A and B are shown apart, each in its own frame.
Chain A
Amino acid sequence: MTTTDPYAGSRETTEGRVYTVTGGDWDLTFGSGGSGLDGPAEERLVVNMGPQHPSTHGVLRLVLDLEGETVTKARVVIGYLHTGIEKNVEYRTWTQGTTFVTRMDYLAPLFNETGYCLAVEKLLGIEVPERATTIRVLVMELNRIASHLVGLATFGMEMGALTGMTNGFRERELVLDLLEEITGLRMNHAYVRPGGVAQDLPEGIEARIREWLAIMPERVAGFHRLLTGQPIWQRRLRDVGYLDVTGCVALGVTGPILRSAGLPWDLRKVEPYCGYETYDFEVPTADTADAWGRYLVRMAEVNESMKIIEQALDRLRPGPVMVEDKKIAWPAQLSLGADGMGNSLDHVKHIMGQSMEALIHHFKLVTEGFRVPAGQVWTAVESPRGELGFHVVSDGGTRPFRVHVRDPSFTNLQATAAMSEGGMIADVIAAIASIDPVMGGVDR
């Protein structure tokens, strides 16, 4: 034990010897007298942010090379939330696949489900009933608003605007209440199924959605009052995380980031699915290509989604919500009983008391599942974060042979380096917040 330890000076006290650990070796290592790794003149500092960033984006790690406060190199390390969803799906039936993919991008579960189901339906060569498609559009747009509200909330939190966070989560709660009423769950709904949706809309939901539509514009205006006009908010966001159209396309970036650079690329318009070509809505863009533009684009998209929801409500007509083919549609019509959601009592009576064949059919379809003709397809939907693509391969069996998900967060997060290198370290946070990555989708 030496008392001349450069890192820990010591002194005697009544409690024994006390060491005080200090820094102070900086000049020894990097100063003029030192033999630093990069020579005496360079003040290169490597900072490790994460793996647990204090935000709701999930577990992300950044390795930043700094010169002073300027970022010279930014590397992103991911994989901390990898749960092997793509592999797991290969050992479940096609219908069970929905319950897995819904857990990837947990802020946009209904987009995951719909994208996957569109792929399975394309493989099967079936078309879902019109009411089911309208319900899908309805829940997807509700989900887009919920997702953007969380995006805005975490954006606010990361910039230090905590009221933005509390307000964002408060408004999102209203959407989650509606989704809970429709699907039974706040998140991870497994509501959209191959062939349609799990169950019809509950009674009276249309009126409640319209009530919510009536109060939302005021809540959105509240965001504008709170953040948009605020000088600090503007100065933190303007000219930060710049990425133009060329950069976006080269890096595969889609969604609000690409639209903030001025390209109105929205799969709902350019490659319509679920009948989006029949809805009247705009694709908001900005020309600033920075975090400020992305904020404005997301705010405007909330308004556009409300327009779509209103139109979807108007065109809801009674009808089936699942294909008629009993070899695909799950036999039990779910209904709400005294003890919660479950098989309808009529159905239970039918299979337990009346028809042996119905019981066998129910059992076979639920345990074994249906077969999907062999082949491969690609489907893509416009999730709140960009192009959410599904590459689904079938070998003709009752389970997917391969499901690859092109998650927009995964691809967009690659732009971190391009957005933050050369900027200040504080702007890295703004840049990543403007990407709005969800690590559950990135790592899958």
Chain B
Amino acid sequence: MTGAFRTGAFGVTGSGDTSGFGGLVRVEPGGAVALHSTDRPYGGWFDEVADALADAVGQATYDAAVRRVLVDRGEITWFVHAAHLLTLLQALRDDDALRFELCSSVSGVDYLDAGGPTGERLHVVYHLTSMTYRRRIRLEVAVTAADPHVPSATRVYPTSDWHERECFDMFGVVFDGHPALTRILMPDDWDGHPQRKDYPLGGVPVEYHDATIPPPDERRSYR
């Protein structure tokens, strides 16, 4: 399909006020959908991988480790507990039926407003690639800003070394067991973690004819 057919006023939700004075309001991506779990069958090879993973680590460990599974836009995500992360990664890499040899990426996301009562706002997202079966999956771990500890994946995937350093640098996630968890992109003596959503953007005031431009996150904004 090319494009999509739509009706109604452009981008109007709620009161219909599109003046832009609503300010910056963010919701968790997917809202209720993101917290929703996909039920079996997941479809395609997703079930195969889920079964193989449960076989490899044992059903009891699998149930304890996995919080929920989400299939969205043809991609599958396991939301897992940090405590069981390494067990899962090791099995995903080594098991004959899984063979996710390549850790493509480790990235952080800060869901500031969506932490919920537990406040698990900092997410670490692992994108794994199986070169044998040509499959990609995603693992996601959530931790609080007060206790941002995640075990380091460097022993299973040496490539995650720099990725984890970047995630620490930008989000302040502490990867326990990392060989040298230091800042990588920002200067060594930098304060704070710039890609957190509540990181002040500095906003060097720009003065022009008695007007001052506020920092970007405080500006009048469309959503």
Using CB atoms and an 8 Å cutoff, list the residues of chain A in contact with chain B: 78-79, 82, 84, 86-87, 91, 122-129, 195, 249-254, 263, 265, 270-271, 320, 323-325, 327-329, 361, 364-365, 367-371, 374-378, 380, 387, 389, 391, 393-398, 401-402, 404, 406, 410-411, 413-414, 443-444
Contact = CB atoms under 8 A, between A and B. Distances in A.
Contact of A323 (B3, B158, B161, B187): B3
Contacts of A263: 131
Interface string B181-222: 001111100000011000000000000000000001100001
Given A91-B217, A396-B29, A369 B222 contact: yes
Interface centre among A253, A254, A364, A376 (most CB of B within 10 A): A376
Given A125-B73, A387-B104, 10 more contacts: A86-B170, A252-B104, A252-B159, A263-B131, A324-B3, A364-B11, A378-B136, A396-B29, A398-B11, A406-B104
B1 interface: yes
A411 B162 CA distance: 7
Nearest to A93: B222
A391 B186 contact: no
A374 B114 CA distance: 13
Given A395-B27, A414-B159, A414-B161, A404 B4 contact: no
A71 B187 CA distance: 26
Contacts of B103: 252
B105 A404 contact: yes
Contact of B157 (A250, A271, A320, A378): A250
A205 B177 CA distance: 55
Contact of A396 (B18, B27, B134, B217): B27
Given A91-B217, A387-B104, A394 B29 contact: yes
A323 B2 contact: yes
A274 to B, nearest CB: 15
A402 B28 CA distance: 12
Contact of B187 (A79, A375, A414): A79
Interface string B25-51: 011111101100000000000000000
Q: Which 9 pairs of residues, A with B, have the shortest CB-CB distance?
A: A252-B159, A325-B3, A404-B107, A406-B105, A374-B29, A324-B3, A368-B222, A323-B3, A374-B30
Contacts of A254: 102
Given A323-B3, A374-B27, A395-B27, A414 B162 contact: yes
Contacts of B1: 126-127
A324 B2 contact: yes
Contacts of B183: 79
A60 to B, nearest CB: 13
Given A125-B73, A402-B109, A443 B158 contact: no
A389 B127 contact: yes
Given A127-B1, A127-B2, A406-B127, A395 B29 contact: yes
Contacts of B31: 374, 396
Contacts of B63: none
Given A271-B134, A323-B2, A367-B222, A375 B33 contact: yes
Contacts of B33: 374-375
Contacts of A87: 194-195
A327 B6 contact: yes
A82 B185 contact: yes
Nearest to B107: A404
A30 B157 CA distance: 40
Contacts of A402: 107, 109-110
Interface centre among B3, B10, B103, B184 (most CB of A within 10 A): B3
Contacts of B102: 249, 252, 254
B20 A391 contact: no
Contacts of A395: 26-29
B96 interface: no
B95 interface: no
A250 B217 contact: no
Interface centre among B72, B105, B136, B160 (most CB of A within 10 A): B105
Interface centre among A365, A387, A393, A395 (most CB of B within 10 A): A395
A108 to B, nearest CB: 18
Contacts of A78: 184-185
B94 interface: no
Contacts of B28: 374, 395
A350 B161 CA distance: 55
A393 B136 CA distance: 17
A409 B105 CA distance: 13
A356 B121 CA distance: 44
B125 interface: yes
A91 B158 CA distance: 33
Contacts of A397: 26, 223
B192 to A, nearest CB: 12
Given A123-B73, A250-B158, A397-B26, A325 B105 contact: no
